[in-house]
Amino acid sequence: MPDLKSLIAELEAAKEGSRGLSDKVLLACEWTTSDGKDARERYWCSPGGKYYDWWDDPHARSRTGPPLKRPDPTRSLDDALTLVPEEEDWRLHQIRERWDGSWDVFLLCRGARHPDDADVQGNGATRELASCIAALKAREAA
């Protein structure tokens, strides 16, 4: 698993999301990928065991029926929010744009003994990046 602190720093410095950053985020969140040399042999697997096609490769084939679109958390808010850990009952508290155009995302943990100690904040150039940062910080705190 990549070092979360350095990945968070990389996301905080990013101007926008990308496939490369999304790959790093998914790997940090316990996703796995095949090492197939042929496009038809490459896929992603979620921690829950679902298989996803390798990006939008027209040669890739779904392993479990209809193709599943691989999440792109640094460019999709919905995909980013799926990375928030469920074990500790984390929830989205607020998303807001700052005066400088960057975004803040606040997550709260209702399952903590002292909720103030279980708050995390992500700040990024886009709301998607800020959401990824907050989700990674929540995983780090868990």
Of 47, 70, 93, the residue at which a domain comes to its end is 70
Do 85 and 129 reside in the same domain of the chain?
yes
pLDDT band at 5 (very low <50, low <70, confident <90, very high): very high
- pTM across the whole model: 0.83
Residues 33 and 60 placed together within one structural domain of the fold: yes
Residues 63 and 85 in one domain: no
Return the SS3 of 96.
strand
66 lies in the same domain as 17: yes
**Structural domain containing residue 112:** 78-141
Contact 88, 118 (CB under 8 A): yes
Average pLDDT across the chain, whole number: 83
Tell me: the pLDDT tens digits for 38-59?
555 677 888 888 878 765 555 5
Question: Rounded distance, CA 13 to CA 125, Å?
Answer: 8
- Whether residues 83 and 136 share a domain: the answer is yes
Contact 106, 94 (CB under 8 A): yes
Residues 81/107, Cβ–Cβ less than 8 Å: no
Question: Is the pLDDT reported for residue 116 higher than 70?
Answer: no
Q: Which of 30-39, 78-87, 96-105 has the highest mean pLDDT?
A: 96-105
- 120 and 65 housed in the same domain: no
Indicate if 34 and 82 belong to the same structural domain.
no
pLDDT over threshold 50, residue 114? no
Q: Could you tell me which residue, 87 or 28, shows the higher pLDDT?
A: 28
The pLDDT-based confidence of 85 (bands split at 50, 70, 90) is confident
What's the structural domain count of the chain?
Answer: 2
Any idea what the CATH number is for the domain that residue 116 is in? Answer: 3.30.160
Domain end marker among 54, 70, 86:
70
Distance (Å, whole) CA 89 – CA 102:
27
In this structure, the answer to whether residues 59 and 100 fall within a common structural domain is: no
Q: What is the pLDDT of residue 67?
A: 59
11 vs 62, which has greater pLDDT?
Answer: 11
From residue 39, alpha-carbon distances to 17, 19, 121 in Å are 24, 17, 38
Q: Are residues 83 and 65 part of one domain?
A: no
Of 70, 103, 119, at which residue does a domain stop? 70
